[in-house]
Structure 1
């Protein structure tokens, strides 16, 4: 698997699984009716932030990540990232590879830590992955997320020092 900088032309491959994941309403705090154009603007970040894609041996986009500062100004020394893996390719290490890539990017870019502001507590695969890579749950916003099947569930704030 290759992880490379995303280009505008990649959006056509990202959008189908991005849309599926967002419309399901189970893991992201994005509006479930986000349009293709809105999604592109929210996901394909301009420099100095970054968006990357993971591609398989056939060159197909199987996942993507966006990396950015968590806050501006005096909080800009903490990075953040978000990940989406095409559900047709889940369980194959794509998410782990993307997460490891973003942690390495943040460290190389001089960030002191990495923080995820809104990890849905019922997204157990993501929570377990992040924990395995050194992230800790700092706290949970009770009922901070309205899950379409499970009702109001917590949102974890997860953090790791780089």
Structure 2
């Protein structure tokens, strides 16, 4: 029997408050796991914990000499949805995050959080980001915060 066998005694859904006063926001399509957590510490600091839903920035050369994948940009922000998602729907899934207060975005796959105007960065990628469909079947909104460019075709 593995740790994943069995039935959960509680399933959290979009909008639920998890233990530790963490609010869950479901971003993904049905049966996909893009979830964003909004956490407010006892000291008042607020942040988004995003996993794969938002890929953020990395420092150049920070992957111990290994090859950097396309989502390892140094100046960008990339919103992710598994599968083919239409542009307007994808932008709409992330809009709910703009109503939150937060001072940092802890993001997936990259070691560097987004701390410089994270809400402004999210707003910019939602309004100006390039809509991209990667050959692997994933959909992205991507914005190089220094250039305003994407790297894949939108078709």
What's the TM-score bracket when you normalise by the shorter of the two chains? 0.3 to 0.5
TM-score, L = length of structure 1: 0.32
The higher radius of gyration belongs to 2
- Pick the structure with more helix per residue: 1
TM-score, L = length of structure 2: 0.33
